[in-house]
Amino acid sequence: MADFKLLAEARSEFGKGAARRIRRSGRIPAVIYGHGGDPVHVSLEGHATMMALKHANALLEIESTDGAKNVLAIARDVQIEPVRREIEHLDLIIVKRGEKIEVDVPVHVVGEAAPGTMVSQEESTIAVKADATKLPELIEVTIEGRPAGEHVLAGQVELPDGVELVADEELLIVNVSEEIEMDVESDAEEEAADAPAEAAAADEKSDAEAGSEEE
């Protein structure tokens, strides 16, 4: 069963002007393609689509207003306006039940590493293959209690049942290193030591400028 159902209206106008009119009406221009069929240009409900795409790899059931058969699809390319963060255009790829497809799944780091360590997440997503109707929304990577010097590679990530790794097994996902301590007192002492010299230099500059004006 699809995660979200969206109503699609066929598009007959194209170009930037037509796209702007569609967005002003509260809808989003999109194209649906895949499985050997011709691309189908549609517009989708704006709010419902944005809510659905808050979920990574959401499975969408697209219902057409012209009576065409419903199709299952996932978002393949989402164009977002950088200032207002609104969806400007959407590419959807048709999927079939039982079909395995490759997707990038967000990585969510959980737990706390050992005291005195610093955690760096090197990759925000990981490429996997899974049933199109059972795509994971996220994959958790635990770092609980890990000491400095340890790391998590893609091949070490625990994947859900039925999900296969596509990414290189040696891809670094999370790195745990020793925390770098800043010597605040030393920096403050250096600044204090430099202050008299800077003040003297400023006084010399002022005296020179004053002498110049007298001449």
Give the model confidence (pLDDT) of 109-152 as tens digits.
999 999 999 999 999 999 999 999 899 999 999 999 999 999 99
What is the rounded distance in angstroms from the CA atom of residue 43 to the CA atom of residue 109?
36
Residue that the structure tokens 């290193």 belong to: 177
C-alpha closest to that of 75 among 171, 2, 158, 164: 2
Tokens linked to 132 = 């199109």
Contact criterion met (CB below 8 Å) for 157 and 187: no
Statement: residue 22 has pLDDT above 60: yes
Give the torsion through C-alpha atoms of 148, 150, 151, 152, to 10 deg.
Answer: -130
Statement: residue 37 has pLDDT above 70: yes
Element (H, E) at 156: none
User: What local confidence, expressed as pLDDT, does residue 81 receive?
Assistant: 83
Confidence of residue 29 (pLDDT cuts 50, 70, 90): very high
User: What local confidence, expressed as pLDDT, does residue 61 receive?
Assistant: 93
With DSSP H G I counted as helix, E B as strand and the rest as coil, what are the percentages for the chain, rounded to 5?
A: 25, 40, 35
Average pLDDT in the 94-104 region? 93
13-17, 85-89, 106-110, 114-118: the lowest-pLDDT one: 13-17
Specify which residues 32 forms β-bridges with: 40, 92
Confidence of residue 208 (pLDDT cuts 50, 70, 90): low
